[in-house]
Structure 1
Amino acid sequence: MALSYSETRKKLDQITAEMLGLIRKYDLDAASPFDVIEVARTKISDQNDYIRFLELSLEGRIYGEYGDALQKQIDEEAKAQQAKPLN
């Protein structure tokens, strides 16, 4: 299943919104991105919310990397198009 860049951004926005809801609900305030999972493990009391937090973290990473790769491809195609000589 290939997603367009705009579909990928939309999915990332949905993931971010849901993640922000959990961050606010449990007042997750990690000092460093490396501490996020430990803080979540400590503060999220509902196991289902903790599992969802981990899922969202993974989904965000996957969609983020996919979006970056798509953007790179779009940029390279645009450069190639500009480099073509006009007839």
Structure 2
Amino acid sequence: MTLSYSDTRKKLDQITAEMLGLIRKYGLDAASPFDVIEVARAKITDQNDYIRFLELSLEGRIYGEYGDALQKQIDEEARQTEAAKKLN
């Protein structure tokens, strides 16, 4: 399955919205990104919410990296198109 950059951004927006809901619900306030899982483990009392938090974290990472790779590909294709135009 290949997703467009737009579809990837939409999915990331959905993940972010759901993640923000959990952050607000449990008052997650990690001082650094390295503390997020520890804080979530301590504050999220519903096991299903904790599992969903971990899933969202992983999904966000995957979609984020995929989006970055797509953006690099789009940028590279644009550079190649510009270079080809200059040669003609």
Q: TM-score range by the shorter chain?
A: over 0.9
Match of 1:72 in 2: 72
In 1, the alpha carbon distance for the partners of 2:8 and 2:30 equals 27
Match of 2:47 in 1: 47
Query: Is residue 57 of structure 1 aligned with residue 88 of structure 2?
Result: no
Q: Deviations for 1:45-73, whole angstroms, at most 9, x for unmatched residues?
A: 00000000000000000000000000000
Q: Deviations for 1:19-68, whole angstroms, at most 9, x for unmatched residues?
A: 00000000000000000000000000000000000000000000000000
Match of 1:6 in 2: 6
Could you list the structure 1 runs, at least 4 aligned residues long, displaced by more than 6 angstroms after superposition: none
TM-fit CA distance, 1:8? 0.1
Q: Helix, strand or coil for the counterpart of 2:55? A: helix
RMSD of aligned residue pairs (Cα, Å): 0.3
In 2, the alpha carbon distance for the partners of 1:60 and 1:31 equals 20
Q: Structure 1: give runs of 5+ residues left out of the alignment.
A: none
In 2, the alpha carbon distance for the partners of 1:45 and 1:23 equals 12
TM-fit CA distance, 1:79? 0.1
Q: Structure 2: give runs of 5+ residues left out of the alignment.
A: none
TM-fit CA distance, 1:6? 0.1
